[in-house]
Structure 1
Amino acid sequence: MRGAEQAGWQVLTDGREWHASPLPLPADPAAWYQLAAVGGWQAVLADTAHSVPNDVLSSRYDGSRGQTRGWYDLPYSVPVLCAAATADGVQALQRTAMTLHAEGIPLQRSVAVLVATADGRSPGAVRAAATVLTSQAGAVLTVPHDPHIRAHGLRNPAKLSQRGQQAAASLAQAVLTVAGKAWGDPLPPARRPAAFPLVISQGGNRP
């Protein structure tokens, strides 16, 4: 969303087919923060796909910062940890929670999302795990199964199911609530990163 005075959302996307390969986007979380500051965006949603426990443990052993800690270190970032609403999915999410806690990474500043893979009620193991995670994460939500997203992505949001739209609104509100608890409501202005220096080649042309 760009500019508080403007109504609605502006979405920067490649507009490609849902099953197309991902764009080669920067992995460094700071690059996304730089993009937000340069563009004047109030909110940036970055969809990443990496194993949080593996990333955290690997960074511990090789002495690097790691992508996960990089996301948590950004000003006003609220990571959303997603997992399938299955027994395997919640086990992976529980391992993630334990790893973050062990490394001192603030799980309470996260929103955990369990994504249903089919219609119907979630299995008992999923509901029990969600109850436990509620006391650890900032919020825990369940997103219902929506075949339209699986087939077409978000190319036509108007065709999303009513339950899906309600879940999206609840997720957005949960992120804002977690951010407000961490930094205050309303949120203070985020620190703006320093601009890159302008480099002029000897020939007088910009590189």
Structure 2
Amino acid sequence: MTARMPFTFIVVPGAILLLAGCGGGGVGGSTAAAVDTASCMVGDWASDPQDIANQMVDALSSLGTASATGTGTEKATIAATHLSYDDNLEFTFDVAPSSGPTVQIVQNHSGRLTADWTIGPDDVMAYANFDTANYQISSTTVIDGHSSTSTSNLPQSSAHNVPTAVTCSGDTMTMKPEDSPILTTWHRQG
């Protein structure tokens, strides 16, 4: 018997930008609010992997009872027009549907994503020149005791088409790619 999940989860705030789907057009112009947000964003940031995992439980709950853990680190370094995400993360998702086999997915995310960025009206961030060559995801899926492991690199294209809403005030920043269930909260480092 082969059990199939209706979708595969690849979860990393930086990676979510690549996997959220292509949104509508680019971001134009600049406003005073966008300039303030852009200035606030410059610096070093860290996300909370467990917070991301908790949000994924909500997304998985329609499949049955779900739990998740997130460990490791994700850091963002943001300069005036360029950014990088450095990840060393592990997410474990357990799903027990009301009918069907139990499923566990363990994903390891490692490496660096880099991109150029701009911020436009309504504090919407746009990306260009994504480089994912040094980023890798290893995923092990266990369905009723039978496991399968795969390793992949993220695609180089499409990320710049995912508009991302940003808020930033003091030592807290949030990012939410369009069509993504995840709102990543970042905390300023240093």
TM-score range, shorter chain: under 0.3
TM-score by structure 1 length? 0.19
Higher strand share: 2
For the pair shown, the structure with the greater C-alpha radius of gyration is: 1
Higher helix share: 1
Task: Determine which structure has greater relative contact order: mean sequence separation of CA pairs < 8 Å that are 6+ residues apart, divided by chain length.
Answer: 2
TM-score by structure 2 length? 0.20
